[in-house]
Each structure stands twice: as structure tokens, then as C-alpha cells.
Amino acid sequence: MPRSTDRSGETSAGYGGVVERILVSACLMGRRVRFDGRAKTLDDTLFERWRSEGRLVPFCPEVEGGLPVPRPPAEIEGGAGGAAVLSGAARILTPDGTDVTRHFLAGAQTALALARSMGIRVAVLKEGSPSCGSLRIHDGTFRGRVTRGAGVTAALLEAYGIRVFAEDRLPEAATHLQTLEATSS
């Protein structure tokens, strides 16, 4: 059946049901936007089904925040997490100490504005990123160590009621989507 998208970002499947859109890290869709100029294309049957259904809305907060590709890696100082950055208690730095916090904050705000304008209530973001990590981020030492915590964009989206899932939690995201769609129809 044909699909159409209304201004809220919801896609009608042609039978009265609502299909939720999903904000997704652009690197997971094969876009070369990561700090190293690479993609982290997600090869997953469920993800491909969502893509074919027109659900996925790709977005890279770091690029949208004004950072180039490629760019130096960045980590949240002290592994404090995105909430600490949002409150002004922590910064995001590159290995040489350059403060790139404003770019990450701008990208997070743009992601939130996009999600809200399209009625998006679910995001699938790249784990480990200082923007997109939802469970784990790097610890701020640039030694490859990770710690529990969320990135700036993930923390902001969650604060506004948008559920964020890591790319390895797609079945959980699918269950949440089914619940949203069942209560929206």
C-alpha cells in the first residue's frame, strides 16, 4: 500500500494506522560523517525493514553542529556524560584540549528541534559517541576506555521524552514502537 507523510512526520500506512518515524545516527545509514570520515553502516534485517518503510530520519549532530568531516576525536571530560555537558558542568574536548562543546550543544538542539517538528518519539543512535551514546561513552582520557553514560544528544532527547536506543538494542526499540503505534491508532 502507498504511504504518505503528514507534517508531523507520521507515516500513514494506508489503513488508518500510524507508523512512527525514527531519528537515526546518519553514520548507521552508511553516511560518512564520523570523526574519522567513515560510516558505521548497520547491517540488520529489522533496520533494513524500517528503512524500506520510510521510517528512518538520518541525522548527525556533530556535523549539524558545525564540525567538519574528518575531525579530531572528542570526548566528554572526566566521562561525566551528556547531562553534565547540558548543565554546563562538563566540556567536550579534543586530544589537544580544544573545547568543541558549543558544536555538540548546537547539534543536540538541532536534533531535538527536528525530532519535535516531525513528531518523532524514538531514536536509534550510535553507541559510544559523545553525542549519540545512550549507555556508554568514552571516559575522556582518549585511551579507548568506556564508561557508563549518555552523550549530549542522547541525554537531551531523553530529557524531552524521546526514547533513545543503541544500535544493538533494535528489538527493544521495535517493542517500544509497537506500543506507541498501538496507542496512537
pLDDT band at 11 (very low <50, low <70, confident <90, very high): very low
Cell numbers representing residue 54 in the block: 520510510
The confidence score (pLDDT) of residue 18 equals 72
- Cell numbers 518515524 correspond to 21
Nearest alpha-carbon partner for 165 in 111, 126, 139: 126
Residue 183 predicted with pLDDT over 70: yes
Residue 114 predicted with pLDDT over 70: yes
The confidence score (pLDDT) of residue 17 equals 60
The confidence score (pLDDT) of residue 134 equals 98
pLDDT band at 2 (very low <50, low <70, confident <90, very high): very low
Domain boundaries, the chain: 4-184
d(CA 109, CA 34): 19
pLDDT in tens, 125-160: 999 999 999 999 999 999 999 999 999 999 999 999
pLDDT band at 14 (very low <50, low <70, confident <90, very high): very low
pLDDT band at 119 (very low <50, low <70, confident <90, very high): very high
Cα–Cα distances in angstroms (integers) from residue 15 to residues 12, 76, 81, 144, 164, in the given order: 7, 46, 42, 48, 28
pLDDT in tens, 22-79: 999 999 999 999 999 999 999 999 999 999 999 999 999 999 999 999 999 999 999 8
